[in-house]
A and B are shown apart, each in its own frame.
Chain A
Amino acid sequence: MVGLTLKNKEKKASARNLRRKPRWGETIIQALLFFSGFFSIFTTLGIVYELGKEALLFFQMPEVNLLASLTTTEWKPHIGKFGIWPLVTSTMMTTLIAMTIAIPLGMSVAVYLSEYASPRVRNLLKPVLEVLAGIPTIVYGYFALTFMTPILREIFGRDVVQIYNTGSAGLVMGILILPLITSMTEDALSAVPRSLREAAYGMGATKLEVALQVVVPAALSGIAAAVIVGVSRAIGETMIVAVAAGAGPNFTLNPFVGAETITGHVVRISGGDLSYDSIDYNSIFALGLLLFFITLVLNIVSQMIVRRFREVYE
């Protein structure tokens, strides 16, 4: 009888010991970690809320009319003209010029690195690309203004090419984006399994045919994502255009004259002490919100492409 109760007691005690104990330290730490993880949501909410709030104030100002700003082609805040197109066209133009440089060059380099280069050459070249990618953009701005612009002016004539022009900013932006596109494309190409290449060689394909007709199509989703990320980067790029593309919005498609991009405009008017609640102050929030949404959509599209169209190999 006594033995039985003892046994029961032991059973109870061991059951209690195995039960999960509340560990307050662990819980607090976990809460802190969750807060850290959640912190980035605050950043996004902060961007959407603050930028949205001030942008709304901007559109409520009597001088500003959303319809007019989408349909007119003059951005002159001091006389109350807020046509967004001059800023948008010059942004599109620098981006276009940058991508015409960066896409073909970046892909050629990526194909060369992943399909042709020996491991030694690759180990030599990849650091070069990493260095290019690590140089601050203001240095590229200096490069555009003091190197690319004089070259353009030599080639096309000094009276054709202005000192500040979107062409030289776009070209240098292409060099800036080149390493980004190269490394993303090369990652996509290297992820294509060896067996596909071997099969193509087995059919008698040349090296080029394997690269362009087998490997590149198989990696197309990754390449498309690289291009989109490159475009998004070019649209948001600031210092090159702030230094080299010129001050003052200009509705033109001529790459040899100065024209201000969205980012360049924000930097110029916010340099110096901008007074709160002025129309300039509110306008940079509207422009920032525009940039945020353009790049957000591009990034989401690029992630969707990767997820939807990725060829999964074993």
Chain B
Amino acid sequence: MKEIWIVQGFANNLNLRNRIGTVWYVIFQASTIVGIIALIALLFNVIDGSFGYVAYEAKVDPDTLAVDGVPVEAQSKEQLVSLLQSSLSSGAYNKLENEKPFESRSREGVYQLVVERIIRPQIVAVWKLWPSLTQADEIRATVAQDFPQAELDFVSWLTYDFVSRPQTSEPLTAGVRTAILGSLWTILFTILLAFPIGVGAAIYLEEYAFDNWLNRIIQTNINNLAGVPSIVYGILGLAIFVRALEPLTSGKMFGLVNLTSENGRTVLSAGLTLGLLVLPIIIINAQEAIRAVPQSLRKASYGVGATKWQTVWSHVLPNAMPGILTGTILAISRAIGETAPLVVVGASTAISFDPSSPFSKFTTLPIQIYQWTSRPQDEFRSLAAASILVLLVLLLSMNASAVLLRNRFSRRF
């Protein structure tokens, strides 16, 4: 009798319990969808800012610059140079000549100067991609009404020119070449510092270290360093690399003093700072890769009389290398995206020349994005969006190569 009651109670309750289960299932699924929507919104927002209508007014109407019916964009280099000579003050012209003689400039470079210095298009309004696609007519009407002089163009902010041009203060001619080269130079020194020391530390901890207090402290310390905010590394870099090691990082020690780097806020300082930042990540990843190499391989090596280092060098490392490299690439892609430590170390805000040595002043891609995002004008936001796309493509290709590396070379034991 009692048993039947229990079963009935169980059955009565079951519907409710199942219903609660369904409700929660929907909640769990909805949360997952929210996460996906966030990613889509983020990507949409970046793409939305990278393309769209731009209305601009030229200070000088390009049509008036035509010579013998040849429009300015089709003129030869000599014509453009003489145009510059006649339109600019002799001081401004000579300054340009001094920066780089006109003979050695390309036609495109000279045309760029004509646009910048004589035509001088000024952006008056910017629209994002979505309104540009859905409300094109209204945009045209607004421009015709508010800016009758202005020309309206559909612009892709992300172009080949954008990637290959140096940075300028004019949004229409600004590019990210300086920033990309700055990022690459910085990363070079990050790798030079973090890869050998990181792999060395991982080998030490996995293959050599006994379980004593010193090695436990080293291990705990590495785990803790991985959780230190990146900005703290920036402050450390400012104190050590920029200030204390200034003779080294500014190049004074090597007699390489030039005007562009009178202090330690250089590519070298930035790279070393980021090196400290990614070091714990590289160590932890490399440790995991080394741990995955089966013990039998080591024993076989010892069995034929190899020394410890011979075993590590010829058997453990080759088998762990795909994992180590994958982990390193992921750590480096973290370094490429870092902004805060470099702001503190002192990335330059506006430089238009490419870094040429470890002792150059620098800007990097994320710094450039930060600078442009902080400007209130819409056109700089669009530049920021386009540079974000460049950065994301760079990171995506790095991550893809890490995944390929893992799939291609990883061995299962």
Contact = CB atoms under 8 A, between A and B. Distances in A.
A239 B340 contact: yes
Given A36-B201, A284-B344, A239 B370 contact: yes
A91 B46 CA distance: 27
A224 to B, nearest CB: 15
B203 interface: yes
A147 B200 contact: no
Given A36-B197, A116-B28, A132-B35, A43 B369 contact: no
B337 interface: yes
A214 interface: no
B221 interface: yes
Interface string A35-61: 111111101101100110010000000
Interface stretch (B108-116, B134-142, B144-152, B232-240): B232-240
Contacts of B79: none
Contact of B236 (A46, A143, A146): A46
Contact of B200 (A36, A125, A291): A36
B132 interface: no
B369 A139 contact: yes
B222 A208 contact: no
A175 interface: yes
Contacts of B198: 36
Given A132-B39, A136-B338, A235-B229, A113 B32 contact: yes
Interface string A144-180: 0111000000000000000000000000000100110
Contacts of A255: none
B293 interface: no
B343 A270 contact: yes
Nearest to B279: A40
Interface stretch (A11-19, A23-31, A66-74, A190-198): A23-31
User: Which of B49, B203, B373 is most buried by chain A, counting CB atoms within 10 A of its CB?
Assistant: B373
A37 B225 contact: no
Interface stretch (A2-10, A92-100, A103-111): A103-111
Contact of A41 (B209, B217, B239, B276): B217
Interface string B183-216: 0000000000000111111011100110000010
Nearest to A129: B35
Contacts of A63: none
Classify chain A's interface size. Answer: 35 or more
B18 interface: yes
Interface stretch (B168-176, B253-261, B351-359, B380-388): B380-388
Interface string B281-320: 0010000000000000000000000011100000000000
A32 interface: yes
A270 B32 contact: no
Interface in B247-288: 263, 265, 276, 279-280, 283
Given A142-B369, A143-B42, A143-B45, A206 B231 contact: no
Contacts of A284: 235, 238, 344
Secondary structure at chain B's binding surface: helix, strand, loop or mixed?
Answer: helix
B74 to A, nearest CB: 38
A113 to B, nearest CB: 7
Contacts of A303: 220, 223
Interface string A267-278: 100111110100
A270 B242 CA distance: 13
Contacts of A43: 225, 236, 276, 279
B373 A266 contact: no
A237 B229 contact: yes
Given A40-B280, A132-B38, A137-B337, A109 B28 contact: yes
Given A33-B208, A236-B232, A40 B283 contact: yes
B39 A47 contact: no
B346 interface: yes
B224 interface: yes
Given A112-B29, A112-B31, A145 B373 contact: yes
B373 A142 contact: yes
A84 to B, nearest CB: 17
Contacts of A272: 349
Contacts of B239: 50-51, 54, 285
A190 to B, nearest CB: 16
User: Which of A25, A145, A178, A238 is most buried by chain B, counting CB atoms within 10 A of its CB?
Assistant: A238
A169 B21 CA distance: 34
Contacts of A131: 39
Contacts of B42: 135, 139-140, 143, 147, 175
A295 interface: yes
B10 A204 contact: yes
Given A33-B204, A37-B204, A263-B231, A136 B385 contact: no
Contacts of A34: 204, 208
B395 interface: yes
Contacts of A109: 28, 31-32, 35
A299 B224 contact: yes
B88 interface: no
A105 B197 contact: no
User: Which of B28, B49, B217, B385 is most buried by chain A, counting CB atoms within 10 A of its CB?
Assistant: B28
B230 to A, nearest CB: 7
A33 B221 contact: no
A138 B283 contact: no
B46 A142 contact: yes
Contacts of A270: 234, 238, 343-344, 346
Contacts of A212: 24
Contacts of A104: 31
A134 B402 CA distance: 13
B46 A243 contact: no
B343 A271 contact: yes
19 contacts: A37-B201, A39-B197, A47-B228, A50-B240, A51-B235, A109-B28, A111-B28, A134-B333, A138-B366, A139-B392, A147-B41, A147-B45, A236-B232, A266-B231, A271-B343, A272-B349, A273-B263, A285-B239, A299-B227
Given A38-B218, A47-B236, 6 more contacts: A26-B307, A34-B204, A44-B225, A109-B31, A239-B339, A291-B231
**Which 8 A-B residue pairs are closest in the complex by CB-CB distance?**
A236-B229, A136-B337, A36-B200, A108-B31, A238-B340, A112-B28, A37-B204, A208-B21
